[in-house]
A and B are shown apart, each in its own frame.
Chain A
Amino acid sequence: GAGVSQTPSNKVTEKGKYVELRCDPISGHTALYWYRQSLGQGPEFLIYFQGTGAADDSGLPNDRFFAVRPEGSVSTLKIQRTERGDSAVYLCASRIGGGGELFFGEGSRLTVL
């Protein structure tokens, strides 16, 4: 498709499990962002990639969270030892270069039981 694609759209897991969330940005977009959104709040920045490298990971809450973008396109957000507080919608966004409009996917809803 033409937009940002995120999979899975919904993920239910148990406390302590490992989770991977995938983001397929718009073709040609070099900048990729991950955000997290809890119910009733605005999106919260997690990490930003320019190409393959993480240019800003200041929003990652702790070392259980990690993200990669090995070929500068698809990105995976990895969460280890999930906790109930990790339950949220995880949003991915991409843009051409460093400026301009940010295009968001529809998010992956994570529920940790």
Chain B
Amino acid sequence: DAKTTQPPSMDCAEGRAANLPCNHSTISGNEYVYWYRQIHSQGPQYIIHGLKNNETNEMASLIITEDRKSSTLILPHATLRDTAVYYCIVRVAEYGNKLVFGAGTILRVKS
């Protein structure tokens, strides 16, 4: 699986959009971009994933650049409960293929 690079930490004001960047310059054509988050003392939680097109669900939006070498996870209106470690992972969506986690970005939402 290709590696990703994320900033170690970010701050965001409550109610504002949180934009979390991820670089994956060696991503292959069949690798998806996945985002998970981990709130303190809990297991990781799936947020969203995409291949080429931008994706949106009830939790977040995922913007993938045209060359697919980077992406941004957007939490449109961050709340204090969004404080967590956010992991950007690239993987081939093949049967059984495991997720390989990096260190992630610690997002602190402040009031």
Contacts and interface: CB of A to CB of B under 8 A. Distances in A.
B72 to A, nearest CB: 20
Interface in A34-58: 35, 40-45, 48, 50, 55-56
A31 B87 contact: no
Interface residues of A, number: 27
Contact of B46 (A31, A35, A43, A101): A101
A14 B20 CA distance: 41
B79 to A, nearest CB: 21
B97 A42 contact: no
Contacts of B85: 42
A91 interface: yes
A44 B43 contact: no
Interface in B82-110: 85, 87, 93-104
Contacts, number: 52
B42 interface: yes
Interface in A69-113: 91, 93, 97-99, 101-107
B103 to A, nearest CB: 6
B50 interface: no
8 shortest interchain CB distances as A-B pairs: A104-B43, A98-B95, A42-B101, A98-B96, A101-B46, A43-B101, A45-B98, A104-B44
Interface of A: 4, 31, 33, 35, 40-45, 48, 50, 55-56, 59, 91, 93, 97-99, 101-107
9 contacts: A33-B98, A42-B85, A42-B104, A43-B44, A50-B96, A98-B95, A99-B93, A102-B36, A103-B46
